[in-house]
Amino acid sequence: MSIAIVDDEEQFRLNLEACLDNYLDHQSIQADIDCFRDAESFLTAFEPKKYSIIFMDIYMGRMNGVDAAKKIRETDESCILIFCTTSVDHMPDAFACHAFDYMVKPADQQRVDKIMDDAIRTIPQQQKYLSVNSDGRTFSIFYSDLISITSSGHYLSLMQRNERTIVTRLTMPELLEKLENDSRFLIINRGILVNMDHVTSMSGSNCQMDNGISYPIKVRNSTEITQKWHDYCFEEIRRNQTHITERR
């Protein structure tokens, strides 16, 4: 899961990030937090589905938070938008952008905890997640954050896009059962499962991931595996085009 903080006040960004770190640590949730000092720099880095939760300041420099939110909603209707403000005067405009909640500054741990509790309960309706045990703790990982899973004996290494890897005592068949046959995951070789949303290319006997790692494809089934990836990509493009057309 990725979270964005967009605010032109450095101290507020630091305080909110600290509150979020505390919450995520206590809940054993893996997440990246990206901070931006203005709406323009955020929109430059923004991609649809990249952020699950966005904390957006309303009053900023050249572009305010409401205008930035309207830009976000042009391509991403599922991310959770939480507005941060010193006044509730612009709340009607904010909620017109399908805002999830708002927080009056300064950042307060109790208020952040409540907002995050509500957001996390909502996110699983939009994004599936996997719960695994590692070193006596339970970790929740969104499917979208999983890049690949490799097996070694009775253990699996789950690589995430935040470059963290969680090792859990689980077999590949047990994992596949947990993943409920989600269409984005594909076995490309014995003990290697990849998330096709993070595959950048398949050529010959190699599968290239967007984190720079390359995995070997089972030679005997390379044509079939590559075709499944192409079919998945085509279906995702078709689905996105349908969604854009419906919005128009």
Q: Are 111 and 84 in contact (CB under 8 A)?
A: no
With a cut of 80, say whether residue 89 has pLDDT above it.
Answer: no
Same domain for 69 and 34: yes
Q: Which pLDDT belongs to residue 90?
A: 60
Structure tokens given for 191: 């003990």
Q: Which of 94, 126, 158 is the last residue of a domain?
A: 126
d(CA 55, CA 187): 36
> DSSP labels for 72-107?
HHHH-SSSEEEEEES-STTHHHHHTTT--EEEESSP
Total tally of structural domains belonging to the chain: 2
Give the residue, 90 or 247, on which the prediction is more confident: 90
Same domain for 150 and 115: no
User: 69: helix, coil or strand?
Assistant: helix
Same domain for 198 and 139: yes
Confidence of residue 178 (pLDDT cuts 50, 70, 90): confident
Q: Which of 126, 159, 176 is the last residue of a domain?
A: 126
Give the residue, 241 or 185, on which the prediction is more confident: 185
Q: Residue length, the chain?
A: 248
User: What pTM does this model have?
Assistant: 0.59
Percent of the chain with pLDDT strictly greater than 70: 89
Same domain for 121 and 147: no
For 145, the domain range is 130-247
Q: Which of 104, 126, 148 is the last residue of a domain?
A: 126
d(CA 182, CA 144): 11
